[in-house]
Amino acid sequence: MPKKYFRKFLPDHETIRQSRWVRPFGALLHHHNLWHLNRRSVAGGVAIGMFCGLIPGPLQMIGAALLAVLFRVNLPVAVFTTLYTNPFTIVPLYVLAYELGAFVTGHHDGLSSAHFALPEMNWNNWHTVLPDWVISLGKPFAVGLPLLALSLAIAGYFVVRVLWYAAVVWEWRRRAARRGKTL
């Protein structure tokens, strides 16, 4: 069922292969798992997107795309999943990461939530502004952010696997009921 639903929104493999944006990358982007919808590939894409969604700054989607290619999981799902972080959710997630890091390290700097707001960045200055901002948040943030990213990635992976399995079982039972059989 999930496969049938999403298939109508996604282009077929040959259309992707002929795209002028994909063609320069050659065979690197032609692995079937990068574009097909199957339980393993989609769950991996969600996990990578959840992990990379917490990368500070403008590198979330680039990081998700690179990791999706490296691990050969669904590329569009990985990139799209990074969008769970946005201007409304990023500060609460970073506060949660800081608190998780403070709990794990036992070190709490008592920073206010206003300190977690991302500084003004653009393509010209992000590489200097971003490291300064991360360093200003200290050890609890440096420990908590990867822990939270890893936790969200693992949770996302297993939630997709369980929901996909439940959808398949539901479809099997629905078909069996139409045929007058029970499972």
Q: What is the pLDDT of residues 99-141, one digit of tens each?
A: 999 899 887 766 655 566 666 777 777 777 777 777 777 888 8
Q: Which of 33-42, 76-85, 106-115, 171-180 has the highest mean pLDDT?
A: 76-85
pLDDT of residue 35 exceeding 90: no
Which pLDDT does position 107 carry in this prediction? 79
Question: Who has greater pLDDT, 92 or 157?
Answer: 157
pLDDT of residue 182 exceeding 60: no
Structural contact between residues 145 and 54, judged by C-beta atoms closer than 8 angstroms: yes
Which pLDDT does position 50 carry in this prediction? 98
Structural contact between residues 51 and 146, judged by C-beta atoms closer than 8 angstroms: no
Q: Which of 12-16, 32-36, 76-80, 109-113 has the lowest mean pLDDT?
A: 109-113
Which DSSP state fits 10?
S
pTM: 0.77
Closest CA to 139 of 98, 182, 171, 82: 98
Helix 39-52 vs helix 126-179: crossing angle, to nearest 10: 150
CA gap 85, 65 in Å, rounded: 16
Tens digits of residue pLDDT in 69-103: 999 999 989 999 999 998 889 888 988 998 999 89
Beta strands in the chain (DSSP E): none
What percentage of the chain exceeds 90 in pLDDT? 43
CA gap 63, 80 in Å, rounded: 12
Domain count across the chain: 1
Residue range of the domain that includes 144: 2-179
- Average pLDDT, rounded, for the chain: 83
Structural contact between residues 153 and 48, judged by C-beta atoms closer than 8 angstroms: yes
CA dihedral defined by 142, 145, 151, 157, rounded to 10 degrees?
-130
Which pLDDT does position 14 carry in this prediction? 67
| CA–CA distances in Å: residue 97 to residues 107, 115, 124, 140 | 13, 13, 27, 8
